[in-house]
Amino acid sequence: MHARPVRAAGNARAVTPGDPGFGVYIHWPFCAQKCPYCDFNSHVRFGGWDEPRYLAAYKRELDHVAALIGDKRARTVSSIFFGGGTPSLMKPETVGAILDHIAALWPVDPNAEITLEANPGSVEAARFAGYRTAGVNRVSIGVQSLRDADLKRLGRIHSVEEAKAAIGIATRTFDRVSFDLIYARPEQTLDGWREELTEAIAMAAGHLSLYQLTIEPETRFADLYAKGRLVIPAAEAAHDLYELTQELTQSAGLAQYEISNHARPGEESRHNLLYWRYGAYAGVGPGAHGRIETSAAHLATQTERSPERWLASVEQHGHGIVDTEDLTPAARADEMLLMGLRLGEGVDLDRLAAVGGLTPSAAKLADLAAQGLIEHATQATGGVDLSPEPEPSPEPWDEIRACVGPGLSPASPVPARHRPSLGRIRATTEGRFILNRLVLELSASFVPADRASPR
């Protein structure tokens, strides 16, 4: 598949199992219409936008983030993701110019995954060909439903016919294509979802994102739900729809590698895996979040959400970052746990210890395993060991930790070479339904990694 050449990685640090890689996220904030369920940072501007001016701002903010990170040769870009908003409203030339600028700042892996999100209403064959020429090699299409009545309920402006045409154009243009569907919609039945998902699987190129409808604060759906004018399936019905989703995708060879994402082997979203495996990434554009490593700190960054204020800030200061936090080892451990438990592969406790110097207590792991909420998975085979492990006798350090709560951690992580492997844990199907509770309980049980019992 043709794409513009990118800079070779040279002698930059390679991606390894213990290093999820380094990515760049570009947030394009504009949409043709705001969907009533969406809480993403998306904005409608009927008068349009000054695209050359925004392009110049993206370049300046990329320059600023690169300067923050320092030593540009120390990281190789393994993935780039254009999210939104609706990035397919950008001109292909704008996308190409941003990719060229990224390649001028960091070495880019020749096999880097470069994804662009698209909405069916903005898909044209010539436009997609332009994105491919610019360097995009994967697209993700926001279809959301294969039923016209439900598309209207969801506030989508495309039709099922347009969605199918967009998928067809994408699969003829790109080697890697994904599309999204939302389920647990109002009035949705098991039989109806079975028919719709079966139809979607037949069209899928290798990846599907299947999201349960949730009511997010400060959305139009939240207002309707609060007034009783929007009814979604009850928890038990939503659970049944989730189980059916797993049954149909698994039987079609689309493994559930993350709570809402299904793929054939090798078709997983590498950029999203970077997030879930807690890798570093630059976040650029209005409302973008980033996790970057400098020579002295691990920083969480967030930019101004308003496109106009972000643009003015970049033009005045060189960036639109409004919040920067130096993450402590304990905070990084919390984040890694939250992200990693979304994955089918789970969390590598040895890497968790390396990142934060902490690991969940053996007693808490055994308790949650006994409740059927987590599994102890072997790294080599993916096999599951549910046998509880004994908790070591408490010592004064543990009692002090119990008093002060989570967050107390050694000054630096414990080198993995000085202790046996701690193994890997993952959430069960039932555990994924209460993921936030799992993370809170595991985090509250954190002990220094050098005092943990190996599996």
Give the model confidence (pLDDT) of 275-284 as tens digits.
Answer: 999 999 999 9
Question: Dihedral sign, CA of 323, 328, 330, 334?
Answer: positive
Residue 245 Rama label (left phi>0; alpha psi -120 to 50; beta): alpha
Per-residue confidence (pLDDT) for residue 284, from 0 to 100: 98
| pLDDT of res. 100 | 98
Record the tokens describing residue 18, joined without a space. 């213990």
- Residue 15 to residue 75: CA distance in whole angstroms: 9
Whether pLDDT at 211 is above 50: yes
- At 328, list the tokens: 């402590």
User: How would residue 452 be classed by pLDDT, with cut points 50, 70 and 90?
Assistant: low
Above 90 in pLDDT, residue 300?
yes
Share of the chain above pLDDT 90, in %: 76
What is the pLDDT at residue 418?
Answer: 52
Residue 75 pLDDT: 87
Select from 102, 64, 72, 67 the least CA-distant residue to 317: 64
Q: Could you tell me the pLDDT band of residue 255, with boundaries at 50, 70 and 90?
A: very high
C-alpha to C-alpha distance for 88 and 84, rounded to whole angstroms = 9
Lowest mean pLDDT among 39-43, 165-169, 244-248, 442-446: 39-43
Residue 122's pLDDT band, with cuts at 50, 70 and 90, is confident
Instruction: For residue 382, give the amino acid letter.
Output: G
Q: Based on the number of CB atoms within 10 Å of its own CB, is 31 exposed (0-12), middle (13-18) or buried (19 or more)?
A: buried
Does 149 have pLDDT greater than 50? yes
Phi, psi dihedrals of residue 170, rounded to the nearest 5°: -65, -45
For residue 18, what pLDDT is reported?
A: 65
Q: What is the mean pLDDT of residues 253-269?
A: 97
Long-range contacts of 251-255 (CB under 8 A, 24+ apart): 252/201, 252/204, 254/201, 254/204, 254/206, 254/207, 254/208, 255/344
How confident is the model over 369-420, as pLDDT tens digits?
A: 999 999 987 643 343 333 333 333 333 323 222 222 333 233 344 454 455 7
Checking if the pLDDT of 307 tops 90, the result is: yes
Q: How far apart are CA 143 and CA 160, in angstroms?
A: 8
Q: What is the mean pLDDT of residues 245-274?
A: 97
Query: Scanning the structure block, which residue is given the tokens 């290093």?
Result: 19
pLDDT score at 453: 62
Is pLDDT above 70 for 57? yes
Give the strand pairing for 374-377 and 424-427.
antiparallel
Q: How far is the CA of 113 from the CAs of 10, 77, 413, 441, in angstroms?
A: 18, 9, 31, 35
Residue located via tokens 């997010």? 216
Cβ neighbors of 141 (< 8 A, separation 6 or more) are 117, 118, 119, 120, 123, 163, 166, 167, 170, 177, 178, 179, 180
Confidence of residue 91 (pLDDT cuts 50, 70, 90): very high
- The pLDDT, as a whole number, for residue 125 is 84
pLDDT by residue (tens digit) across 310-359?
A: 999 999 999 999 999 999 999 999 999 999 999 999 999 999 999 999 99
Instruction: Average the pLDDT over 430-445 and give the result.
Output: 94
More confident residue, 45 or 177: 177
Reported as a pLDDT band with limits 50, 70 and 90, residue 115 is very high
Q: Which residues pair with 211 in a beta bridge?
A: 182
- Catalogue the E-assigned strands of 327-399: 347-348, 358-359, 374-377, 384-385
Average pLDDT of span 79-100: 96
Picking from 80, 216, 217, 200, the residue whose alpha carbon sits closest to that of residue 141 is 200
Mean pLDDT over the full length of the chain = 87
User: Tokens 């650029």 correspond to what residue?
Assistant: 284
Give pLDDT, residue 4.
Answer: 52
How many other C-beta atoms lie within 10 A of the C-beta of residue 370? 12
pLDDT tier at 9, thresholds 50, 70, 90: very low
DSSP 16: B
